[in-house]
Amino acid sequence: MADHGRRPLPLPVLLVTGALGAGKTCLINAMLRADHGRALAVIVNDFGAINIDAALLSGTSQPVYGLKNGCICCSLQGDLLRTLGTILSLGGRLDAIVIEASGVSDPRGIIEALFDPVLHAAVRLDAVVTVVDAQDHDSADPLWRAQVRAADFIVLAKTAQADPDRLAALRATLGTMSKAMVFGADEPGGLPLDMLLAQGTDREARTAAQPGDASPVLHDTRFVRLDWSSPLPVPLARFQSVIAQLTPQLARAKGFVSFRERPGERCVFQLVGRRASLMPAPTPGIGTELVFIGRTGLFDTERAKSALHALQSS
């Protein structure tokens, strides 16, 4: 039977930022060529009239769209909105949109635009990834610091060529900026694409929103996962308090949650880095089913489980 009350969830957007020459295009190429099973569309933005990055990415099987009017933050109401509209109108399977920001742009402009009411129902910002050249960077530059501050995840490029002392100093600087999710592109294990890309169940959640869809497959031993469920609604204020306690340990969290204060409603919960959101679920339901993913050695799953269980008795 058709569910006429079902509302599609917004399409996740991954924003890739970083200084000129840091390695953003290489990172996106790796995403497009990896065997992750996701259907991606890419929007690239060179600073200037010749869109080099679009040409570099166009050899992949995924669709690539180029913005040709200079810095993306200066054309948010023009090319970006039109391009997003074009992508969303094409139909067919699409799991996420990747936006590559210009190396000379502050990502805050793009982030603000993605929360515009015109776009908010159709797309949502899933994560911000900042690529940092491990050798050639200026940590005192205000733009560099703005790009790093915006990041949910940091990808260090060219670590194999970097001076060890300079690399150690960079990691220390990122630590002082509260950046715990830092990954070296050249290091063992490679890039954790399941962390950088929207979890693979987003498409199923948008079309079906079955409780089981909240659980992504996790094969990377650098991360640990906790699945937690409750058949009953949980108190909103206590839930927010527990999430605030867990957030510093987490890379991602997602799932479905219902609150005592909102009978009959169910929400989709998303957390990436330190940014959390709640939105109405496509279909109604009762109870809570959540997945939490954090770094091995950082995320204490047993303590997290105890804090979550306490929600049922509060």
| pLDDT, mean of residues 120-125 | 82
- The pLDDT of residue 8 is 65
- The pLDDT of residue 27 is 86
What is the band of 65 on the pLDDT scale with cuts at 50, 70, 90? low
Task: Check residues 68 and 123 and name the one with the higher pLDDT.
Answer: 123
Taking 3-state DSSP, the helix, strand and coil percentages for the chain, each rounded to the nearest 5, stand at 35, 25, 40
Q: Which of 48-52, 192-196, 225-229, 284-288 has the highest mean pLDDT?
A: 225-229
Is 90 exceeded by the pLDDT of residue 130?
yes
- The pLDDT of residue 56 is 39
| CA separation for the pair 195, 92 (Å, rounded) | 24
- Which of these ranges, 46-55, 211-220, 288-297, has the smallest mean pLDDT? 46-55
- Which of these ranges, 94-103, 159-168, 181-190, 250-259, has the smallest mean pLDDT? 181-190
Q: Is the pTM of this model over 0.85?
A: no
Tell me the CB-side half-sphere exposure of residue 276, using CA atoms within 13 A.
Answer: 19
- The pLDDT of residue 91 is 73
Task: Check residues 164 and 120 and name the one with the higher pLDDT.
Answer: 164
Largest CA distance in the chain: 63
Task: Check residues 41 and 131 and name the one with the higher pLDDT.
Answer: 131
| CA separation for the pair 79, 70 (Å, rounded) | 10
Is 60 exceeded by the pLDDT of residue 217?
no
Is 50 exceeded by the pLDDT of residue 120?
yes
Helix 236-246 crosses helix 301-309 at what angle (to 10 degrees)? 170
What is the band of 45 on the pLDDT scale with cuts at 50, 70, 90? low
Phi, psi of 263 (to 5 degrees): -60, 135
Tell me the CB-side half-sphere exposure of residue 56, using CA atoms within 13 A.
Answer: 17
